[in-house]
Chain A
């Protein structure tokens, strides 16, 4: 489900060899925030449509064409934000005054350094570079090499 929601390959979110196990950490964190039933309901909604193309799954669960997203869609938003930014944003709390809403917390330092947003910008987490001296004067690798799911397969 997270792969469909985020647009990344599930092998990025949950690698075969996964010492960090962020997927588990995130599930536990979100469930503690919103309760198991809300998580189960969202997962069931996903399971009902999981054979559809990934973008369609994302659009459906996030209710991207709805004027007022349901509480369940807002939970899905928070899950996307968690993967992208490594922080928990309380569902339905919007930013204002020119800035994002304040997160409740950064889930962990590993969550920060594994945020997907840094891949989206074809870079590295601010404060955690795996690149070497001078890389910034050269073009980055293409976006497709950062684990983005460009295929049409369903999420896992």
Chain B
């Protein structure tokens, strides 16, 4: 093979949302494509994954997917044995390893107080920086998968569009960044993405959100009718009728927005079938979109991968971990990767291989894309003349509140979420604090308290971990129940449980970043994976703009619960991963899995890594795609938009190939 005849038209790294869509579009255009996928192949049947889920001790988002914890717990290993990432070929960030030391956690992070001082009776949260008000040393809490199909095996299916002001935050409100795209172009791309996914929604139902700048192209229709709202949605919706909240609370740093904003509930556009679509079934309300839809009524990237393979122009090489993109001048020339395997006894072996293409696409996920870019060229990095690779790491930090309704509203039924409060996503307050959306859960306190397990065990054993079994009369022991009394008490609690998750448009901060976990003087890795590659090190914190959003969200939730006559049980702890203190009040955030910002797009090559087509400013034949390109995390869940951007990239790749 001569160096001048590449083996493929395009080599794509990563078989997730973006990689699969681009492969499909290129395959349909007759281009020869190779996808290098680090993890295991898509299983023939998802029953294998379902079995993993059923038997998992903790039903975390990662629980159905390969290479997980054991299925037996013990006092010392309550969630089962967690393998050291240094022994695994494709370790990844997981919920169960959050806040742990690097011999358990793949991401190398500052450990929280409780992990560092397990015996200390006085837990602490990291202090505010007196100058900036920022809280540093926090844990980045979002996780991801490394397997065929990627993380969006367990996306929720929420398919909201961004708002007009989401993508021009800087121009409009003087905060964050603008996107290098105009809204009209995005509207067209969202339409393509909605068709690919099969989004169930009604434009008429979304029209009230024009007040926050949600707009559709004239005459647009979603591919299928909306998903019915749940009884929980209906209860919240009727209770908040007429509720208004101010843009800011007293003592908001920076300024105030006393405008009153309407609070109302909107049905959520969802990537699950309300009618048969693409040979997939209608949603049966398994209440399990995360970690896994048992019947694939929810779109996931394996659907698009199947279409890509059907073109007969796309090949996938699994268990292939890229570790270097060779660059000569302004062109990528080769990808080096390890093909790994395990023998019958579990011994890991690897073979180093290389592959060439005319063009290259990095689609391995926001953190893994940054890792690969920084790792390439003998750890000198590529495509990074801006020094922005790995920076501006964002999430939708998720603030969870939970309550008991005064009467049964029957959670634990239907898709995990079918509605939200989207009406507070835009306003002048965005000059002073982060905006947020509010997702109404149909899963009781499953997320909040690990129910039904916690409350059930409380009433069986006479404990009060759920806080719904306090000692009668305020002293003595919580009750223990059996028989019909147990049934009735649990029914009384479970049918009234619900929760609201608030997700914030977190500020992009240059110091929130992914780097390689290497010794700076020697360049030698501190922590490696099972293939010997340095692991990602993550530094993370929150600024007052973002934290002020939490304060407002807690206020709005309390108002919603008050309107419903519901009793709130939200409890924020101290000293653990995701715990922080703002203006003297403790908060906790979860990861939303919306990992964003590590190779931001922009017009100026000095301040961004890729252009609006997600093409590298520095390396002309390389595209770096996915939510890592988002300049800001905005107020919509990111999958729909990143899929839309993949359509745009596919077009520019085809143009570059001269077709």
Contacts and interface: CB of A to CB of B under 8 A. Distances in A.
Contacts of B341: none
B111 to A, nearest CB: 17
Interface in A97-117: 97-106, 108-109, 112-113, 117
B294 A7 contact: no
B464 to A, nearest CB: 9
B573 A121 contact: no
Interface in B485-509: 485-488, 490-491, 494-495
Interface stretch (B17-25, B55-63, B171-179, B364-372): B55-63
Contacts of B446: 126
A96 B410 CA distance: 27
A6 B483 contact: yes
B288 A127 contact: yes
Given A7-B486, A149-B484, A136 B414 contact: yes
Contact of A126 (B228, B418, B443, B449): B443
Interface in A65-99: 67, 69, 76-77, 80-81, 84-85, 87, 89, 93-99
A117 B231 contact: no
B571 to A, nearest CB: 7
A63 B266 CA distance: 49
Contacts of B274: 133
Interface string B458-490: 101111011100000000010111111111101
B304 interface: no
B491 A95 contact: no
Interface residues of B, number: 74
Interface in B424-470: 442-444, 446, 449-450, 452-454, 456-458, 460-463, 465-467
A10 interface: no
Contacts of A148: 484, 487
B168 interface: no
A27 B401 CA distance: 40
Interface residues of A, number: 67
B330 interface: no
Q: Which of B51, B56, B460 has the most CB of A within 10 A?
A: B460
Contacts of A145: none
A84 B491 contact: no
Contacts, number: 217
Given A98-B449, A103-B73, A126 B482 contact: no
A4 interface: yes
A124 B410 contact: no
B282 interface: yes
Interface string A118-156: 101111101111011111111110010000111000000
A135 B465 contact: no
Interface stretch (A18-26, A28-36, A50-58): A50-58
B445 to A, nearest CB: 11
Contacts of A96: 463, 465
Contacts of A6: 482-483, 486-487
A7 B54 contact: no
Contacts of A54: 483-484
Contacts of A61: 482
Contact of B460 (A77, A97, A108): A77
B483 A77 contact: no
Q: Which of A4, A80, A100, A105 has the most CB of B within 10 A?
A: A100
Given A121-B495, A140-B413, A127 B460 contact: no
Nearest to A60: B482
B228 A134 contact: yes
A59 B485 CA distance: 9
B487 to A, nearest CB: 4
A147 B381 CA distance: 63
B285 A131 contact: yes
A100 B442 contact: no
A97 B491 contact: no
B465 A100 contact: yes
B147 to A, nearest CB: 19
A112 B56 CA distance: 10
Given A59-B482, A95-B461, A121-B491, A105 B57 contact: yes
B283 interface: yes
B580 interface: no
B54 A84 contact: no
A104 B461 contact: no
Contacts of A95: 454, 457-458, 461, 463, 465
Nearest to A113: B54
B212 interface: no
B480 A121 contact: no
A122 B454 contact: no
Contacts of A77: 460-461, 480
Contacts of B54: 106, 108-109, 112-113, 127
B590 interface: no
B95 interface: no
B331 interface: no
A46 interface: no
Nearest to A110: B54
A85 B450 CA distance: 12
B639 interface: no
B484 A7 contact: yes
A67 B477 CA distance: 8
A64 interface: yes
Interface in B281-295: 282-288, 292, 294
A62 B481 CA distance: 8
Contact of B71 (A101, A105, A128, A150): A105
B50 interface: yes
Contacts of B283: 133
B53 interface: yes
Nearest to B457: A100
Given A81-B456, A127-B286, A59 B483 contact: yes
A118 to B, nearest CB: 8
B465 A98 contact: yes
A8 B200 CA distance: 39
Contacts of B412: 118, 121, 123, 126
Contacts of B286: 124, 126-129
A62 to B, nearest CB: 4
Given A95-B461, A106-B55, A106-B57, A136 B231 contact: yes
B78 interface: yes
User: 10 tightest CB-CB pairs across the interface, nearest first?
Assistant: A136-B414, A58-B483, A58-B482, A102-B78, A109-B54, A127-B288, A137-B228, A121-B494, A7-B487, A100-B457
6 contacts: A55-B485, A57-B483, A95-B461, A105-B73, A131-B413, A143-B487
Given A55-B483, A95-B463, 15 more contacts: A55-B484, A61-B482, A77-B460, A98-B449, A100-B454, A100-B458, A104-B74, A105-B71, A117-B456, A120-B490, A121-B495, A123-B410, A127-B53, A131-B413, A136-B442
